[in-house]
Copies of this chain bind each other. A is one copy, B any other.
Amino acid sequence: MTNLYNTDLDRNPANHQPLTPLTFLERAATVFPDHTAIVHGRLRRSYAEFYARSRRLASALTKNGIGRGDTVSALLFNTPAMLECHYGVPMCGAVLHSINTRLDAAIIAFQLDHAMSKLVIVDSELMPLLQDALALAKVAPVVIQYDDPEFDGARSDLDVADYEVFLSRGNPDFAWLMPEDEWDAISINYTSGTTGDPKGVVSHHRGAYLLAQGNALTTSMAKHAVYLWTLPMFHCNGWCFPWTLSAIIGTHVCLRQVRAEPIWAALADEGVTHLCGAPIVMSLMISAPEAEKRNLNHTVQFFTAAAPPPEKLLADMKEAGFDVTHLYGLTETYGPAVVNDWHADWSLLPPADQARLKARQGVRYLALEGLDVLDPETMQPVPRDGQTLGEVMFRGNVVMKGYFRNPQATLAAFDGGWFHSGDLGVMHPDGYIQLKDRSKDIIISGGENISSIEVEEALYRHAAVATTAVVAMPHEKWGETPCAFVELKPGHDVDEGALRAWCRDHLAPYKVPGRVVFTPIPRTSTGKIQKFSLRERAREFTD
């Protein structure tokens, strides 16, 4: 029988528009034109100015032949230009390709070629890096140089187009392009990929709209919140916060460099209410000299990801006036799509129990329809016992379009109707997930899986350990056994025997590292520990 609710009731221009976060800025600039959108040092920009400059950028790009489906790259710090790129680039129909500023020239060259970049907007401090990359790349994008007024180093005197001059040629009233479909791409972000070529994660307008709103809803971010840019915007588009802030008419406080003194100054002087970062950012703030710290007369929300926040750090942050929320996600999920949604009564528990609960990654964002821990062979959920390892999988509207020009990787990632994260975790009885390892980081000893994270956590509880990374090393009898690399805290001293004894007191015997190596821990450009290089070193050990 005909469903009359689908008869003569079609989509039309009056009742259907593509979802896109670009409309957030248009609304903010229309309703609160004078509200401060951007703070950067002494610079203050209103929403009217932010919108006009973004339209100028879109217009100038259009005049340079950039249009739908073209890639525009940004090699920028957390500056106003980077915020303008998040609107101006998609406003001309193009796709924003933000480049991690810590990458080497070869990887940047690979990205520019793979994304077929037509134009690059680059911070003048990064011009030499870009020049090196362009020397290696096949593409020859137009280069636009941004001179950040907050950069106090020597400026490049290369003869390239200036960002402000480029913008001045654009029309501030440019009739910017809506996406033709909300499924159109808004950005591409390359995963850092410790092995193999980087993959280009394509995000669409619909997902960016939903995750940007999801951030505000999930974190109860109210109208006129003030957000400090400690999280790099090249990292999954700053977890979509460049768009979230326009939705709630908030204020961006830019930050060229993540240092303790300007962070504390912004918190106190600009009335920052929210910021994001890995636990290392919290450590940086807490361990700052007392002279750099400031008293805050308001509670600040800190959203952390990448690693579970240790108990001592949580206690220190609470003491300093912060509420810490643990988030989790991947570039493939627009940044955070999982939140450790806190239960009020958990705050009554002893600090150690709170830290244990807060170490869990948590539950799906409202904008994510599905999150589970599945056996990747059978695609069945693991028991909700907090013990059984499985692969964390996502499904929903804040999962990427796929990998650019890589249909094989896309198909593999979406096999069985779920996005396979590659992260191993458990499902607790209350439905909260907890990561235990990356698939490739698991250590298999005598047929038993050992979570490298569990061994690391035991080591982190030792007072002398600053940083540790545990990987597999070969073992004649058991196949593999854990090998721990350790950086000690300044002024602390402990030897291998003492740390192994500590582990014997805190872990099952087969999980005790066969070897403890004291060494600086190598990290990737984004601050992730480079386990692959440690694995290579450990491969030469035997127990």
Binding site for B on A (CB under 8 A): 1, 3-17, 19, 23-24, 27, 30-32, 68-69, 95, 116, 183-185, 188, 202, 207, 213, 216-217, 220, 222-224, 247-248, 341, 343-344, 363-364, 366, 369-370, 394-397, 399-402, 404-405, 407, 410, 413-414, 417-419, 431
For A183, the closest partner residue in chain B by CB is B11
**Is the pair B15, A396 in contact by a Cβ cutoff of 8 Å?**
yes
Q: How far is the CB of A22 from chain B (nearest CB, A)?
A: 11
**Is the pair A414, B12 in contact by a Cβ cutoff of 8 Å?**
yes
Knowing A15-B395, A217-B217 touch, does A5 contact B410 (C-beta < 8 A)? no
**Is the pair B217, A4 in contact by a Cβ cutoff of 8 Å?**
no
A selection of 26 A-B contacts at a CB cut-off of 8 Å is: A1-B69, A4-B404, A5-B185, A5-B202, A6-B69, A6-B185, A8-B407, A9-B402, A9-B404, A10-B402, A12-B414, A13-B395, A14-B399, A15-B207, A15-B396, A15-B402, A17-B369, A19-B397, A23-B366, A24-B366, A27-B364, A31-B341, A31-B431, A213-B213, A213-B217, A213-B366
Q: How far is the CB of A107 from chain B (nearest CB, A)?
A: 21
Contact residues in B for A417 (Cβ distance below 8 Å): 12-14
| Assembly CA distance A223 to B216 (angstroms) | 11
**Is the pair B30, A418 in contact by a Cβ cutoff of 8 Å?**
no
| Assembly CA distance A435 to B210 (angstroms) | 32
Contact residues in B for A401 (Cβ distance below 8 Å): 5, 9, 15
| Assembly CA distance A407 to B9 (angstroms) | 8
Q: How far is the CB of A394 from chain B (nearest CB, A)?
A: 7
Contact residues in B for A343 (Cβ distance below 8 Å): 32
| Centre residue among A223, A370, A413 by max chain B CB count within 10 A | A223
Contact residues in B for A220 (Cβ distance below 8 Å): 222-223, 248
| Assembly CA distance A185 to B400 (angstroms) | 27
| Centre residue among A12, A15, A222, A410 by max chain B CB count within 10 A | A15
For A432, the closest partner residue in chain B by CB is B31
For A332, the closest partner residue in chain B by CB is B15
**Is the pair A95, B431 in contact by a Cβ cutoff of 8 Å?**
no
**Is the pair B15, A419 in contact by a Cβ cutoff of 8 Å?**
yes
Cβ-closest 10 pairs across A and B: A3-B69, A13-B417, A5-B185, A220-B222, A15-B399, A8-B407, A9-B401, A14-B414, A9-B402, A17-B369
Knowing A27-B364, A217-B248, A341-B31 touch, does A410 contact B9 (C-beta < 8 A)? yes
**Is the pair A184, B17 in contact by a Cβ cutoff of 8 Å?**
no
Knowing A31-B431, A183-B11, A224-B344 touch, does A397 contact B16 (C-beta < 8 A)? yes
| Assembly CA distance A494 to B223 (angstroms) | 46
Contact residues in B for A10 (Cβ distance below 8 Å): 402
Contact residues in B for A184 (Cβ distance below 8 Å): 5-6
| Assembly CA distance A207 to B5 (angstroms) | 15
Contact residues in B for A24 (Cβ distance below 8 Å): 366
What would 8 more interface pairs be, CB under 8 Å, given A3-B69, A30-B363?
Answer: A5-B202, A9-B401, A13-B395, A15-B395, A23-B369, A31-B363, A32-B343, A247-B366
| Assembly CA distance A184 to B247 (angstroms) | 27
| Assembly CA distance A343 to B224 (angstroms) | 10
| Assembly CA distance A401 to B7 (angstroms) | 10
Knowing A185-B5, A217-B217, A363-B30 touch, does A15 contact B414 (C-beta < 8 A)? yes
| Assembly CA distance A15 to B182 (angstroms) | 13
Q: How far is the CB of A323 from chain B (nearest CB, A)?
A: 12
**Is the pair A4, B397 in contact by a Cβ cutoff of 8 Å?**
no
**Is the pair A402, B8 in contact by a Cβ cutoff of 8 Å?**
yes
Contact residues in B for A14 (Cβ distance below 8 Å): 394-395, 399, 413-414, 417-419
For A418, the closest partner residue in chain B by CB is B14
For A2, the closest partner residue in chain B by CB is B69
| Assembly CA distance A418 to B17 (angstroms) | 12
Contact residues in B for A1 (Cβ distance below 8 Å): 69
Q: How far is the CB of A148 from chain B (nearest CB, A)?
A: 30
**Is the pair A69, B5 in contact by a Cβ cutoff of 8 Å?**
yes
Contact residues in B for A6 (Cβ distance below 8 Å): 69, 183-185
**Is the pair B366, A27 in contact by a Cβ cutoff of 8 Å?**
yes
| Assembly CA distance A23 to B370 (angstroms) | 10
| Assembly CA distance A400 to B10 (angstroms) | 10
Contact residues in B for A414 (Cβ distance below 8 Å): 12-15
| Assembly CA distance A341 to B341 (angstroms) | 29
Q: How far is the CB of A407 from chain B (nearest CB, A)?
A: 4
| Assembly CA distance A405 to B397 (angstroms) | 32
Contact residues in B for A11 (Cβ distance below 8 Å): 183
**Is the pair A397, B15 in contact by a Cβ cutoff of 8 Å?**
yes
| Assembly CA distance A472 to B399 (angstroms) | 58
